[in-house]
Amino acid sequence: MFSIKLWLGRLGGFAHVTNQLCSPTFCAKKEIGVSALGQECGTGMSEINKLDAAFARFERALGLFETVTKSQVEETHRLKSMMVGVDAAQRDQTKMHDQLELVRQKAAELVDTSKQAAGKIDTAMGRIRSVLHSNSGA
């Protein structure tokens, strides 16, 4: 009977095959490599090819999984960076809005001051005219 244990590491995977030879009076456990599987158990090359093909499919699937996982991690990092940018933009927008309100208030104060100054100038010019009129007739 064969049992296959797959150990997956960060850099790839490997297979560990255990061959257990048992009879009514004798049981020996022997560890063999995947390539020796056909010779040890007496199976044909087609079974070895099937096993090799299964491992190749597994490795391709694992490679695709790693690629997708890496892409997802990169996308998560991009989204986090974008969120930091969005937060900074919102803070800047709030700051600019507050500054705009201050400018509007100062502009309104300047309009009021300008109206008051214009009124005082008109009043002063009216007095000057009246003094000039009263002096020119006398």
> In whole angstroms, how far apart are CA 46 and each of 41, 52, 122?
13, 10, 111
Report the half-sphere exposure of 67 (CA within 13 A, side-chain side): 6
**AA identity, residue 138:** A
Q: In what order do the strands lie in the sheet with 12-22?
A: 2-9, 12-22, 27-32
Is the model's pTM score more than 0.75?
A: no
pLDDT along the chain (138 residues), means of 10: 41 44 42 44 75 94 96 95 94 96 97 96 94 81
3-class DSSP assignment, residue 2: strand
Q: Where do the domains of the chain lie?
A: 1-43, 45-117
